[in-house]
Amino acid sequence: MKGQILKADSRGIKKASQIIRQGGIVAFPTETFYGLGVDALEVKALLKIFQIKGREENKPLLLLVADRTWVPALVKEILPTADRLIERFWPGPLTLVFEAAAHLSPILTANTRKVGLRVSSHPVAQALVQAVGRAITGTSANLSSQPSASLAGEVFQALGVQVDVILDGGKTAGGLGSTVLDVSGVLPKIIRQGAIPQEELAPFLDGR
């Protein structure tokens, strides 16, 4: 049954991971809001994300990874500053944008040839990525231009049966979404201000 809300326990996470590996869509809690997860390498599933959110195709989708060891397979290179940022802020609400590896779909990168990666500090999001065994999308579980969802019920109200499963991990913290930082060049650039303020990033932005 589509749109099913499952408790975010080990059983629910296992079922959700199987659905993602089969090309389905799962909503799950993160440290800020609920996100939508599909297999990063499944093109049909990526297209579904754009369709159900009403998302413009020129907007790339960020990915969640389990830890830093997953990054090299998804990007062309990791510059020293990016490595230091990973060490300081992951897991947490910092999305780092790299030059994408050649095998990633242009649908995922919106033809920018760049990909945003993050390690979530939320235990359910982290467990789901681990259970899937490969990177999943982490875009917000809402209609584009509408408020982000902090509760499983809000996800259902917004997206309903277009989502295969919603993992109910309770109310998320809300607040600002992840800070997005482009680390594809020598000097990192802030793309979106978010949960990590510029003052905390300042030591990494001047090339030192």
User: Model confidence over 84-131: pLDDT tens digits?
Assistant: 999 999 999 999 999 999 999 999 999 999 999 999 999 999 999 999
With left for phi above 0 and alpha for psi between -120 and 50, is residue 160 left, alpha or beta? Answer: left
Q: What angle do CA 153, 11, 119 make, to 5 degrees?
A: 70
8 A C-beta contact, residue 31 and residue 93: yes
Beta bridge mates, 95: 180
Task: Please tell me the predicted confidence (pLDDT) of residue 145.
Answer: 86
Compute the average pLDDT of residues 179-197: 93
Three-class DSSP category at 64: strand
Task: Give the model's confidence band at 36: pLDDT under 50 very low, under 70 low, under 90 confident, else very high.
Answer: very high
Task: Give the model's confidence band at 177: pLDDT under 50 very low, under 70 low, under 90 confident, else very high.
Answer: confident
- Eight-class DSSP state of 41: T
Say whether pLDDT at 208 is over 70: no
- Return all residues near 144 (Cβ < 8 A) that are at least 6 apart: 53, 54, 55, 56
DSSP for 71-132 reads: GGGTBS---HHHHHHHHHH-SSSEEEEEEBPTTS-HHHHTTSSEEEEE---SHHHHHHHHHH
8 A C-beta contact, residue 68 and residue 77: no
Task: Please tell me the predicted confidence (pLDDT) of residue 19.
Answer: 97
Task: Please tell me the predicted confidence (pLDDT) of residue 205.
Answer: 87
Say whether pLDDT at 1 is over 80: no
Q: Is the pTM of this model over 0.85?
A: yes
CATH architecture, range 4-204: Alpha-Beta Complex (3.90)
Task: Please tell me the predicted confidence (pLDDT) of residue 24.
Answer: 97
User: Model confidence over 60-86: pLDDT tens digits?
Assistant: 999 999 999 999 999 999 999 999 999
Say whether pLDDT at 141 is over 90: yes
Say whether pLDDT at 7 is over 60: yes
Say whether pLDDT at 146 is over 60: yes
Task: Please tell me the predicted confidence (pLDDT) of residue 153.
Answer: 96
Say whether pLDDT at 207 is over 60: no
Q: What angle do CA 153, 157, 160 make, to 5 degrees?
A: 100
Centre a 10 Å sphere on the Cβ of residue 97 and count the other Cβ atoms it contains.
24
Q: What residues does each domain of the chain span?
A: 4-204
